[in-house]
Amino acid sequence: MNGAPGWACRVVGVLALACLVTVVHTQIPGFGTCPDYSPILRFNRTRFLGTWYEIERYFTVTEVATKCVSVTYEQRADGKIYVRNAYTNRFNGVERIISGVMDKGGKSKEGRYQIEYTSFPYNYNATVMVLDTDYDSFAVLYSCSSFGPVGHAVSAWMMARERLPAGPVLQRAYGVLDKYKISRTFFIRTQQEDCVTLPPPEPAIDPTEPSTQAARNEGVIVQSEEDLQQLRSDIFAVGPKPPVPVDPVLEDH
């Protein structure tokens, strides 16, 4: 019995840690376990590929002060589906990319999948459900993570094939939310106007510093710090190299 309080504290600590990790990514908490929602059946992953624009969403830390949010699903030669989330900083216009790989998260024919994000300091897996989509104009996505029997955290997104979808498209998406009794109260509209993005700033380059790329163009192989030091010496050397003195004794022989 003396170990009971310590055991209880450890359980609470584990639950708190799980809650913290989950809430970092999905920000709308709730009591109890996740709602029993079912994803769309006969989900066609091929038709779902391409770019989707975020129209409305639940609050998420990773999207604070962002605009022009989009996600692109691309199937490459290796057969995997790669996910590219693009966010534009609302203040400086710089685009930020978070990338991952999609994996089937449930039955092959249902609209449930997992994304393993590799752009974070640590790998993070997110399970996403497609509640409904017509593949051509709208999609409603939902994600829920439980931390024990005491609570859960939810994310939801309204996506469209166009940055500024027409009213009837929005009404169809709202109808899906109402069908699943997903509250619109927490939805935030994503700014999709004036989406001119800038590339990340280039790192400063010292024009006097020889580059390994220039060395490769000249056929010089730089494989180590010693090679780079020698390259610097060759570039910044003034005048011809002095001749190597010859030992007269060796010259006579």
Residue 10 CA to residue 6 CA, distance in Å, equals 6
Predicted pLDDT of residue 118: 80
The residues of the chain that CATH labels 2.40.128.20 are: 18-189
Q: What are phi and psi of 110, to 5 degrees?
A: -110, 155
CA-based nearest residue to 167, from 138, 130, 134, 132 = 138
Q: What is the value of pTM for the model shown?
A: 0.68
Q: Are 51 and 70 in contact (CB under 8 A)?
A: yes
CA-based nearest residue to 177, from 56, 67, 63, 73 = 56
Listed range (85-99, 185-199, 224-238) with the worst mean pLDDT: 224-238
Which of left, alpha, beta for 214 (phi over 0: left; psi -120 to 50: alpha)?
alpha
Residue 246 CA to residue 252 CA, distance in Å, equals 11
Q: Which of 15-24, 26-35, 49-58, 100-109 has the highest mean pLDDT?
A: 49-58
User: Is residue 223 very low, low, confident or very high in pLDDT (cuts 50, 70, 90)?
Assistant: low
Q: For residue 206, give the H/E element and its range.
A: none
pLDDT surpassing 60 at residue 78: yes
Decide which of 1.10.357.10, 2.40.128.20, 3.40.50.620, 1.10.10.10 is the CATH code for 18-189: 2.40.128.20
Count of H helices and E strands in the chain?
6, 10
CA-based nearest residue to 173, from 79, 55, 25 = 55
Predicted pLDDT of residue 251: 53
Q: For residue 69, give the H/E element and its range.
A: strand 66-75
Read out DSSP for 119-151?
Answer: SSSS-EEEEEEEEEE-SSSEEEEEEEEE-GGGE
User: Is residue 60 very low, low, confident or very high in pLDDT (cuts 50, 70, 90)?
Assistant: confident
Predicted pLDDT of residue 249: 57
Residue 87 CA to residue 91 CA, distance in Å, equals 12
Q: Are 124 and 25 in contact (CB under 8 A)?
A: yes
pLDDT surpassing 60 at residue 184: yes
What average pLDDT does this structure show over 225-249?
A: 58
